[in-house]
């Protein structure tokens, strides 16, 4: 039964983790946190909305403003962006200063919420440390959205003690947790409400006739097997080299920015491997819709085993068969157009099967788009954030030892 409380828009606060609204605009509003923000800005279930960037140094903020490199937030009476600033360029290694920074961050958000007239807002944050240790005594609920298991991110290993403490605090409080995979939920093991919300797609990007292939792609011989995403250590280049050697008539296309140029050295110069830098959304869609199959060629690590790979949803949105290493979140798609291999080096037979399968019918593809839209996905997040519940407030009455990692000084990312 729908109640009046279910139909009244609720005020919200949304916080990015380590990137900003400007970063989201530059990359085309395509990552899960960016898509959540788009839903919050458009949903009739959301009243007033305060969007918060993480801390940035005053010097970098001034530099961006003078250079004109800052995206303009569409500010209205209903929605506003706040950019907390500090003098320091880097994060403190002191747990005591970490807690102080979180309290200062909380204070900035509270003052902005008060100035907007927000009424007991619902907080959705993509930063686990903010979810765990920012007091938020002025909020009605706090919901953490996990797009990655930060405790498995090798490039953030210096932060693991802080993440470990944050997961424990989230577990012991009633902070709601929404994550892109069951693996992330299991690793946090929250005692409060939890839900899995996999990644999705924007149907508007993928409908209509097949666009013309970009010139650089059209020059690559068919059949094309495409991988999209940041080209970094997640990519199994040794396995790709084996696949390329076993299927010399297959053109393997690696499309994306080089997160680590050394990571793809193993396939540079191979005659049937083509590497292209990152492109805009329209060109990415055109590239996928003009390929014959797609690859999820990751290494199997604790990080990749907890991912809900956005690229797989985009591959299926393009109507492509997918050849993937066997990962639990991908297996849960239960889509017969995804063919699994134990490793990238063992994908050759699966590639042959995918090529025989061919593209999906247009009716099947359009139906899949509607079933997997971001808008449908995000209703679960809004259900979580607006659910009436209490969470354990954190304030000055808590001993510092209960709020900080018991590991001495740690490098903690900015809230």
Tokens of 342: 């134990």
Angle of CA points 191, 125, 129, to nearest 5°: 70
DSSP string, 65-128: HHHT-SPPP---SSEEEE--EES-SS--S-HHHHHHHHHHHHHHHHHHHHHHT--SPEEEES-H
Better-scored residue on pLDDT, 339 or 98: 339
Q: Over range 302-314, report the average pLDDT.
A: 89
Domains, in order of start, for the chain: 4-200+376-403 (3.40.50.2000), 203-370 (3.40.50.2000)
pLDDT at 394 over 80: no
Share of the chain above pLDDT 90, in %: 68
Q: What are phi and psi of 311, to 5 degrees?
A: -60, -35
69-78 per-residue burial string, b: 16 or more CB within 10 A, e: under 16: ebeebeeeee
Residue 66 CB burial class (10 angstroms; 0-12, 13-18, ≥19): exposed
Centre a 10 Å sphere on the Cβ of residue 396 and count the other Cβ atoms it contains: 8
Averaged confidence pLDDT in the chain? 88
Share of the chain above pLDDT 70, in %: 89
pLDDT at 415 over 50: no
Better-scored residue on pLDDT, 403 or 17: 17
State the Cα–Cα distance between residues 298 and 260, nearest whole angstrom: 14
Q: Would strands 176-179 and 251-255 be described as parallel, antiparallel, or unpaired? A: unpaired
pLDDT at residue 169, rounded to an integer: 92
pLDDT at 319 over 60: yes
pLDDT at residue 260, rounded to an integer: 74
The pLDDT tens digits for 88-100 are 777 665 667 778 8
pLDDT at residue 92, rounded to an integer: 64
Q: Over range 296-301, report the average pLDDT.
A: 92
- Binning pLDDT at 50, 70 and 90, where does residue 333 land? confident
pLDDT at residue 59, rounded to an integer: 80
Q: Over range 41-52, report the average pLDDT.
A: 97
State the Cα–Cα distance between residues 106 and 295, nearest whole angstrom: 42
The pLDDT tens digits for 118-163 are 999 999 999 999 999 999 999 999 999 999 999 998 888 888 888 8
Q: Over range 11-28, report the average pLDDT.
A: 94
- Binning pLDDT at 50, 70 and 90, where does residue 66 land? low
CA pseudo-torsion sign 62, 65, 70, 75:
positive
CB 314, CB 369: distance < 8 Å: no
Q: Over range 160-173, report the average pLDDT.
A: 90
233: Cβ contacts below 8 Å, ≥ 6 apart = 154, 259, 260, 263, 299
pLDDT at 405 over 50: no
pLDDT at residue 24, rounded to an integer: 95
State the Cα–Cα distance between residues 130 and 142, nearest whole angstrom: 10
- Binning pLDDT at 50, 70 and 90, where does residue 389 land? low
pLDDT at 11 over 80: yes
Contacts of 373-380 spanning 24+ positions with Cβ under 8 A: 373/200, 373/201, 373/202, 373/203, 374/35, 374/38, 374/39, 374/200, 374/201, 374/202, 375/39, 376/200, 377/197, 377/198, 377/199, 377/200, 378/35, 378/36, 378/39, 378/43, 378/197, 380/178, 380/195, 380/197
Q: Over range 188-194, report the average pLDDT.
A: 94
Centre a 10 Å sphere on the Cβ of residue 267 and count the other Cβ atoms it contains: 22
Q: Over range 312-331, report the average pLDDT.
A: 95
CA pseudo-torsion sign 59, 65, 67, 72:
positive
- Range name among 209-213, 257-261, 376-380 with the lowest pLDDT average: 257-261
Of the candidates 127, 173, 167, 135, which has an alpha carbon nearest to the alpha carbon of residue 151? Answer: 167
CB 372, CB 201: distance < 8 Å: yes
Q: Which helix (H) or strand (E) holds 341?
A: strand 338-341
CA distances (Å), origin 172, targets 47, 189, 402: 30, 9, 11
pLDDT at residue 396, rounded to an integer: 39
Of the candidates 258, 293, 296, 276, which has an alpha carbon nearest to the alpha carbon of residue 214? Answer: 276
Helix (H, G, I), strand (E, B) or coil at 142: strand
pLDDT at 397 over 50: no
CB 47, CB 9: distance < 8 Å: yes
């Amino acid at each position: 039964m729908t109640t009046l409380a279910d139909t009244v828009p609720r005020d919200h606060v949304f916080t990015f983790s380590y990137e900003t609204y400007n970063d989201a605009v530059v990359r085309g509003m395509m990552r899960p946190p960016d898509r959540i923000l788009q839903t919050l800005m458009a949903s009739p279930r959301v009243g007033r909305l305060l969007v918060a960037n993480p801390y940035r140094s005053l010097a970098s903020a001034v530099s961006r403003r003078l250079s004109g490199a800052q995206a303009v937030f569409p500010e209205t009476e209903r929605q506003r962006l706040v950019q907390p600033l500090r003098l320091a360029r880097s994060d403190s290694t002191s747990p005591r200063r970490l807690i102080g920074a979180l309290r200062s961050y909380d204070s900035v958000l509270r003052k902005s919420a008060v100035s907007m007239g927000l009424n007991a807002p619902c907080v959705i944050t993509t930063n686990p440390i903010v979810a765990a240790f920012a007091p938020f005594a002025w909020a009605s609920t706090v919901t953490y959205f996990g797009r990655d298991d930060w405790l498995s991110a090798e490039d953030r290993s210096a932060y693991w003690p802080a993440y470990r403490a944050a997961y424990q605090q989230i577990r012991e409080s009633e902070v709601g947790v929404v994550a892109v995979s069951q693996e992330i939920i299991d690793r946090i093991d929250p005692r409060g409400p939890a839900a899995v919300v996999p990644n999705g797609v924007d149907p508007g990007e993928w409908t209509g006739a097949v666009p013309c292939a970009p010139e650089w792609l059209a020059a690559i011989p068919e059949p094309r097997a495409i991988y999209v995403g940041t080209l970094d250590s997640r990519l199994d280049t040794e396995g790709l080299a084996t696949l390329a050697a076993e299927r010399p008539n297959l053109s393997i296309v690696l499309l994306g920015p080089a997160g680590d140029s050394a990571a793809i050295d193993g396939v540079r110069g191979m005659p049937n491997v083509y590497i292209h830098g990152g492109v805009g959304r329209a060109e990415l869609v055109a590239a996928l819709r003009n390929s014959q199959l797609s690859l999820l060629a990751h290494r199997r690590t604790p990080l990749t085993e907890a991912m809900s790979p956005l690229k797989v949803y985009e591959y299926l949105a393009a109507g492509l068969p997918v050849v993937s290493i066997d990962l639990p979140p991908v297996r849960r798609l239960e889509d017969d157009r995804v063919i699994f291999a134990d490793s990238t080096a063992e994908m050759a037979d699966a590639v042959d099967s995918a090529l025989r399968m061919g593209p999906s019918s247009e009716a099947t593809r359009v139906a899949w788009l509607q079933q997997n839209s971001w808008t449908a996905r995000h209703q679960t997040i809004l259900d979580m954030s607006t659910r009436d519940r209490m969470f354990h407030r954190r304030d000055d009455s808590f001993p510092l030892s209960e709020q900080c990692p018991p590991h001495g000084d740690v490098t903690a990312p900015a809230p």
